[in-house]
Amino acid sequence: MVCEGDAASSFSFQPTSPPLLPLPITNCNHMDLGGSMVIEHKSWRFNGDGDGAGAGGIQKSSFLVSTLPSQLRPRLDELNVAGKMGGGDVRKTARNRIKPTTSSVSGEDHRELRNRKGLRRERGKDQLRILDVNFVLLGFTIVSSLVALFFLYHFVQFSDADDQLPRVITPFPAPKIMDLEMFQGDHKESLYWGTYRPQVYFGVRARTPESLVAGLMWLGIKDGRYFMRHVCQDADDLQTYGWNKHNGRDYGHQVLIDHGMTLTTSFLKSKVDGSGYGGDWAFRVGVQSEKLSEEMPDAAHLFFYVADEGENALSLGRSVTEIHEKSLLAFGSRSDVSDWELHLKSTDDFEIHHVGLKTPHIHNLSDVVQGILALQARNYGHLELPDTSEDSANILVYQISAKTPFKADIAFVTGTDIDDAEIQERVNSLTGTSLTSHLQKKENEFDDKFNKIFNPSDKLDSESMEVGKAAIGNLLGGIGYFYGQSKILFPQPSKHKSGGDSVLYWPAELYTAVPSRPFFPRGFLWDEGFHQLLIWRWDMHISLDIIGHWLDLMNIDGWIPREQILGAEALSKVPEEFVVQRPSNGNPPTLFLVLQDLVCGMMKNKFSATESKEISAFFERSFGRLEAWFQWFNTTQSGQHKSSYYWHGRKESQTIFELNPKTLSSGLDDYPRASHPSEEERHLDLRCWMLLAADCMHSISNQLINKQQSTNLYGDTANLLADFDLLNKMHFDKDYGAYFDYGNHTEKVRLRRQLVEKNGKPPSLELVRQVLEKPELRLVPHIGYVSLFPFIWKIIPSNSWILEKQLDIIYNNSTLWTDFGLRSLSKTSSMYMRRNTEHDPPYWRGPVWMNMNYLILSSLHHYSKEEGPYRERAELIYNELRGNLIRNVMNKYKETGYLWEQYDQKKGSGKGAHPFTGWTSLVVLIMAESYTQC
């Protein structure tokens, strides 16, 4: 074997035959950091470069020596490895400097003290010199004191003002929704543990800020090389992965296919007498590998870890040589679950190795582990962890190596301050044949519940049913728990600044579904309303829990940050420039979609007496926040004309490189608006979102909590926004027969290359916007999703000729109709499929999006039931559009193994992020023909 340079930053081992046991390395040359490293042997080959650009390996700039076991550190010192990873560097700051003690007095101070005492004694002897005073000195002292008091007063006033929190980071002054009794007790405990780490392929944590967390890593093989798998990412190029069944509470089953290797992961929770808070849980992993060639190994390397975010010490279980006889891997104690133990059971032969680490950071754990493996391979020729542990380690990683196929069960049991026999009995109930039986029972319950709730049509085949189960399963399995502080734009000077022009929101928790595990594993306000359309039908209590968490993030002004990036793991997936949230910008208040459903369900007696009581309590507690949220939109996003609104945040001065200034706050990003942003704008979609919000608030106040004053206020607002004649006057174009935005607009804009000097650098050719005619106030002639918002909200009377025009737009191949769903922007638009910048391909300018298609289908379904001249045509279009959407999503899932963020309007192929089981999972409701309850 030959060793050259250093371990790889892009970690990869290249096997040339199927090894199971590590082999020694011989004939290694001196290794120089910063070069490249190649380890070769007749069994396998390790290869990589040390350019420091990748996420792993051993690098000067990234490898944290202090995270390695102490036994490995001397070797690193010999190799002159420097630098840190994960922020573990301990540096001196002003707070570390030694300050002089105040309890000691210098010789000079003692002398002064003695002189003062002596002076007092001398004056005490002369009782007649009571008027021996220097009046000039006295006057000077009084004036000085007054000046000092003046400055002290103003200093205190300034300090008090600075101590006062800026409004933008002041919480809403009302009891938290999550403190309601319905979210305490059994409900809270039942949701304590879960697969709440959607950003990793498999992860478990509790709903608490400093949780005990667990997860799975493995060595995948691609192009004949090993790569570490842990965090969900597109670059891994897995054929498929995701929870194909998950009930959101205590059961889930996932299939992952990684280049010839198939892993299945199952999760189960159990609560029995004697369990600690939240109960116990079990994890089963099975591995099978397809023999692609003689060079491919038939051994698999899994890495299961447990880590304590609170840095509580974890204790190793039995010696690895005894693991087959005694299953204990680790144990410890926490204030939330009391004593706990982690056990491994398997009937297959395997090797196990471990490493114990002490570090406050776990978001880069896969980097650390692959660095340790690289060091082991380089120094000893072993592709295995070193069986060492730091003192008071808070992370334990176990490597399980075995020939495939094999499976292993890991049981986490709490409340273990009992005798061993009872513990073993509980471990046995969560492993082996008992676990198999429990998992099968939960799977059957999931299937029965899916059929009962969604009652999919008999026209759907069994494969489409399985895709529907995977859609809801991965949405529920993608629910995460996050804790941290949002970063908010706040340019004013403040002691609360977190750096630059931002301040930190208060520390907060968020329990939420996520749009996409690899790309968007965090909370998005505009997506969440669509998620809850599914989740409330599956489990109303989970849905209310999620909505309550979101509303508790509201500040005193009624604003909710639209993107929640809480905690180190969430931050690690977001570029720095996108972290800061702008308090002037909103997001569509889609939570009113599900709130309106709940209100209408109450009115139609869809819920049990207990459920109705809980929903009423929820609305009673949340009403003040909902009012503040509505008023925030009604004031900060209002236009210059009564009943007009526009999305704030569009900046013409910042868009010389954009063909059309983006409107990120609308959720529709690059959908074309007025070419020149101004306060004269009127955005049709926001006007309709406000109608939904006002109508929902009217229903809540009138039907549930009997607030007459609010009822009248919101009723009047809803009537104003639903005024058909006023809507047409402000947004309808008779020539087009369509609804549009209004603003300062010209169609004659283009992108042309010209020399641009930026930040003092030499000029370079850039695409820059050119305006070829003066804009004017007018309707913005782009037909697309926004044009259909009055149709979506059913403002158009069923007998109006305008309804016919809307159906014409929908069912026209030259505008929105395709065989795969409705495209987002008409082919007739000047912006259709146009890039917005040199680096921004079209996003909402043509592709098919499931969330908007669902809303349009819902309205078509409504008009197909309404008496009027267009009823039959609405029904025909509804059935055809529904069939196109279901068929294309199913076909692309079968072809690719994923649901996608959007679909190509020409070929139907998946585009954007994948898996995207956020609002694309609305296909389940489309299958079930389950739309609004009103």
**Two tokens at 539?**
């489990």
Biggest CA-to-CA distance, the chain: 116
The position carrying tokens 């044009």 is 787
Q: CA–CA separation, 849 vs 851, rounded Å?
A: 6
Catalytic site includes residue 901: yes
225: phi > 0 → left, psi -120 to 50 → alpha, else beta; which? beta
Residue 563's DSSP bridge partners are 524
C-alpha 905/C-alpha 820 separation (Å) is 7
Quickly count: other Cβ atoms within 10 Å of residue 617's Cβ: 16
CA Rg value for the chain: 32
Q: Are 272 and 261 contacting, i.e. CB atoms less than 8 angstroms apart?
A: no
* 669 classed as catalytic: yes
Whose structure tokens read 């069986």? 387
**Six token digits for residue 669:** 């990003």
Query: For strand 497-499 and strand 395-403, is the pairing parallel, antiparallel, or unpaired?
Result: unpaired
CA angle 708, 714, 717 (to 5 degrees): 140
How far apart (Å, rounded) are the C-alpha atoms in residues 336 and 340?
10
Half-sphere exposure of 340 (CA within 13 A, CB side): 27
40, 51, 669, 766: which one is catalytic? 669
Query: How far apart are alpha carbons 233 and 201 in whole angstroms?
Result: 9
CB-based contact 587:525 (threshold 8 Å): yes
The C-alpha atoms of residue 493 and residue 76 are separated, in whole angstroms, by: 45
- Identify which of 480, 484, 370, 396 has the alpha carbon closest to the alpha carbon of residue 212: 396
- If phi > 0 it is left, if psi is from -120 to 50 it is alpha, else beta; for residue 464 that is alpha
Q: Is the peptide bond before 405 cis (omega within 30 degrees of 0)?
A: yes
Q: What distance lies between CA 342 and its chain's CA centroid?
A: 28
The catalytically annotated residue of 614, 627, 901, 904 is 901
Q: How many CB atoms lie within 10 A of CB 377?
A: 23
Beta bridge partners of 225: 222
Torsion, CA 662, CA 668, CA 670, CA 675, rounded to 10: -60
Q: How does 752-779 read in b/e, with b if 16+ C-beta sit within 10 Å?
A: eeeeeeeeeeeeeebbbbeeeeebeebb
Sign of CA dihedral 732, 737, 738, 740: negative
Which one-letter DSSP state was computed for residue 342?
A: E
Residues labelled as active-site residues: 669, 901
